[in-house]
A and B are shown apart, each in its own frame.
Chain A
């Protein structure tokens, strides 16, 4: 009975991964037809370690993933707590909170490009009206500003996902516990720290895992919003890998970079599950 599932996993996951790992051991350039494809062993991996562009991309990815996931956790928690309470029109609010997440990233990236636009953008308009600036800022070409503009767009887009997961977790917490803490005279703050948060920990772990892995693989937002610029200041690891494949046509080295992304994702998952996961499991029992 498991055969279809196993076949599916082999076809869509194992074979491409094996192929990519195999390609990463060769020098494959599609620039010239019939170019030789010599076996280079681990040379490509050695090149990664001295590749400044890769370390730059790693830094960008780390900053974007760290800042956006942290902000999303806080904002997502606030939103989840709010829409967990009952009030009139809650259904509409819950549905509308999800809209940013339901939008295709390319569409929302285009939208943010307009919001940040230097001539017509609403952000500039607001800041000018508030008197905060007297000249429009071209957000997407100022290195010190661009990456934060991108992070803001990412937070806007994926906070609903975080909120949704946390809301699901909140609904699993039995209400008897809240009743008991109320009887014991605990403040709301104490209830949150002593009851909600510990019981929500497994959910938070899953949400953080999903979101961090997603953020590490971030591609469509920078591709559409900045295409990695100015310079390479918003080039994420995946975008750099994509460029290595499709503009440099280096499929061997590109495969090496793809394997590196795979290793990073495995590493992130490992950290979350080992370091955060184990005690949580124990505490729950």
Chain B
């Protein structure tokens, strides 16, 4: 083969490379790049063959324009894996002429929502009006001056209708910085059919839990699952055991107490043992970043018990759930001695309004409507999200569809919040999560992990 031919070959295939590139839809970027690399830019003007017909754009346009005189408020929210919230927003937009909600989910894990709002609010930007908040974000955003007090939309008599625990979680320094949107806490979901078949009762103590899991575990069904990744979801699982063994993270004066006594170490050791020694929790739980990961295992019939939020229950009512409503139930969390249910973490979600919003009036109104009785009832009935308004629990339709509703309501009275301080998100991400992650990967013993965690927490609180 001569050089001449080779050169021709090279040219030809450069052209066919461009053709291939255009076909694989990355046209602009790649054509530009290969043009630069081969000193031949003849193909750069190749039109994008895969461009959609103009009608696609045309049909999308009227929807945007139809808002007319209405004010659109932008709502930053965390991913709703049940898919219910977008439907609720559609209903809201149909029912309200003056206010339209532009609902925007910000990533799969709640940290994404947090970071996105920090970016926007840190720049004092007005592009967010309504913001969903996990419990720790309420004091954080309030202290930073990024959200406004919302006391005005909940007068005293209205406020009395909400769960007190949820209200406490939405309060910072005596002011309400958010309205509890739905209430949430953990429960022990268990397979009633499997328990009945073995004549077992839902476990009341951690030891009961271990025994039941061992009795029910098969090659196909794991005994117990909870979220154990290096994330907020993972450390909550451990914090409940820390509380269960009588410990706490910080005291009222923000002194770190997690390394005092043995509760932190004992709680962590228990979970590590569940995974590696007793082998009732699959190691895969270390990568279950979403509650939905745990739920998918349970509703697929692959787990005898799971510790999960009540807000995930909606999935069990979907037609594609392998286990049916008569096969499962939810019990209170087990505890160390079984005298009382074990402590659960307050996991409700709140809605607040950005200080930098230019549409605060409309955002507050949207917030008031979204958290009213009617919307909370619909959200429970159709989405499975438990309400922060107590009266919703008394609704006969609700009680009929959700037999566990009353038990959940009672359990909500005993939930504990994570440390209520603007330092918490920093402490969580940089002190608790890394130490917990290393303990779960058996890189550190629980002893070492708790010590490292406590030292880092003190350092963060001291340096601000």
Distance A267 CA – B18 CA, assembled complex (angstroms): 37
Task: State whether the Cβ of A243 lies closer than 8 Å to any Cβ in chain B.
Answer: yes
Given A32-B422, A138-B283: A230 and B440 within 8 A (CB)?
Answer: yes
Distance A246 CA – B38 CA, assembled complex (angstroms): 42
Mask, B1-19, CB within 8 Å of A = 1, is: 0010011011001111111
Q: How many A-B residue pairs have CB under 8 A?
A: 150
User: A232 contacts B119, CB within 8 Å?
Assistant: no
User: A247 contacts B231, CB within 8 Å?
Assistant: no
Least Cβ distance of B334 to chain A in Å? 25
From A92, A118, A171, contact of B283 by CB (8 A): A118
Task: State whether the Cβ of B29 lies closer than 8 Å to any Cβ in chain A.
Answer: yes
User: A138 contacts B284, CB within 8 Å?
Assistant: yes
User: A246 contacts B434, CB within 8 Å?
Assistant: no
Return the chain B residue nearest A97 by Cβ.
B17
Task: State whether the Cβ of A125 lies closer than 8 Å to any Cβ in chain B.
Answer: no
Which residues in B have their C-beta under 8 angstroms from that of A92?
16, 20
Which residues in B have their C-beta under 8 angstroms from that of A231?
230, 434-435, 437-438, 441, 443-444
Least Cβ distance of A105 to chain B in Å? 14
Which residues in B have their C-beta under 8 angstroms from that of A90?
13, 16-17
Least Cβ distance of B251 to chain A in Å? 20
Chain B: how many interface residues by the 8 Å CB criterion? 60
User: B37 contacts A164, CB within 8 Å?
Assistant: yes
User: B284 contacts A31, CB within 8 Å?
Assistant: no
**7 pairs of A and B residues whose beta carbons are closest in the complex:** A33-B145, A91-B16, A168-B37, A95-B20, A231-B438, A229-B230, A86-B9
Task: State whether the Cβ of B56 lies closer than 8 Å to any Cβ in chain A.
Answer: no
Stretch at the interface among B47-55, B127-135, B423-431: B423-431
Q: Name A84-100 residues within 8 Å CB distance of B.
A: 86, 90-92, 94-96, 98-99
User: A164 contacts B426, CB within 8 Å?
Assistant: no
Which residues in B have their C-beta under 8 angstroms from that of A30?
118, 122, 144
Which residues in A have their C-beta under 8 angstroms from that of B460?
248
Return the chain A residue nearest B143 by Cβ.
A32
Distance A153 CA – B111 CA, assembled complex (angstroms): 23
Q: A residues within 8 Å of B by Cβ?
A: 29-35, 53, 86, 90-92, 94-96, 98-99, 102, 117-119, 136, 138, 140-143, 164-165, 167-168, 171-172, 175-176, 178-179, 227-233, 243, 245-249, 251
User: A246 contacts B118, CB within 8 Å?
Assistant: yes
Distance A142 CA – B230 CA, assembled complex (angstroms): 12
Return the chain B residue nearest A90 by Cβ.
B13
Task: State whether the Cβ of B215 lies closer than 8 Å to any Cβ in chain A.
Answer: no
Least Cβ distance of B399 to chain A in Å? 37
- Having A119-B284, A246-B118, one finds 7 other A-B pairs with CB under 8 Å, namely A32-B144, A32-B422, A86-B9, A94-B20, A141-B440, A171-B39, A232-B434
Mask, B420-464, CB within 8 Å of A = 1, is: 001101100110011101101101100000000000000010001
Task: State whether the Cβ of B140 lies closer than 8 Å to any Cβ in chain A.
Answer: yes
Distance A164 CA – B29 CA, assembled complex (angstroms): 13
Which residues in A have their C-beta under 8 angstroms from that of B23?
95
User: A118 contacts B37, CB within 8 Å?
Assistant: no
Which residues in A have their C-beta under 8 angstroms from that of B115?
246-247
Which residues in A have their C-beta under 8 angstroms from that of B429?
243, 247-248
Mask, B276-296, CB within 8 Å of A = 1, is: 000000111011000000000
Which residues in A have their C-beta under 8 angstroms from that of B145?
33-34
Task: State whether the Cβ of B30 lies closer than 8 Å to any Cβ in chain A.
Answer: yes
Distance A136 CA – B283 CA, assembled complex (angstroms): 9
Q: Name B129-182 residues within 8 Å CB distance of A.
A: 140, 143-145
Return the chain A residue nearest B449 by Cβ.
A231
Return the chain A residue nearest B25 by Cβ.
A102
Given A141-B286, A143-B441: A31 and B140 within 8 A (CB)?
Answer: yes
Distance A131 CA – B16 CA, assembled complex (angstroms): 43
User: A138 contacts B287, CB within 8 Å?
Assistant: yes
Which residues in B have their C-beta under 8 angstroms from that of A141?
229-230, 283, 286-287, 437, 440-441
Which residues in B have their C-beta under 8 angstroms from that of A230?
230, 437-438, 440-441, 443
Mask, B83-120, CB within 8 Å of A = 1, is: 00000000000000000000000000001001100110
Least Cβ distance of B457 to chain A in Å? 13
